Amino acid sequence: MMYNLEVKIDSDSGFCFGVVYAIDMAEEILEEDGYLYCLGDIVHNDEEVERLKAKGLKIIDNEELKFIKNEKVLIRAHGEAPETYKVALENNIILIDASCPVVLKLQNRIKTTHDANENILIFGKHGHAEVIGLQ
């Protein structure tokens, strides 16, 4: 049996404003400097990551960050754990913080709750960037 199926893509679909902001920041620096380090994939979209890599974006992980000194490193919209900021300070890294304001608000709320010795439960995919950034 054949069905006549029509697929429509919503005109408002696409990346969230936090990711768009991070991509815009990355492109500006890539244009100026020719390269930029980014902690993890800037977005969960292989085509966009490859496009930015072709412009000079260098994807690194937190282990590689420990060996980078005196460079610019982009923190993607997903945010990062406090340890990342400590490593950056120790290595004279200029952090380009493109953390989404929604993520930052949640991080601050978790910190306040933690400081008040209250219980915190985080439901999310283990090892996923957003979850790591909330720890």
H-run or E-run covering 25: helix 17-33
Angle at 122 between CA 101 and CA 86, to 5 degrees: 60
The amino acid present at 83, given as its one-letter code, is E
Q: Which of 27, 48, 71, 130 is catalytic?
A: 130
- HSE-CB of 18 using CA atoms within 13 angstroms: 18
8 A C-beta contact, residue 21 and residue 100: yes
Angle at 75 between CA 111 and CA 46, to 5 degrees: 125
Alpha carbon distance 89, 42 (integer Å): 22
Q: Identify whether 130 is a catalytic site residue.
A: yes
* Cα Dmax for the chain: 65
Which residues are identified as catalytic? 130
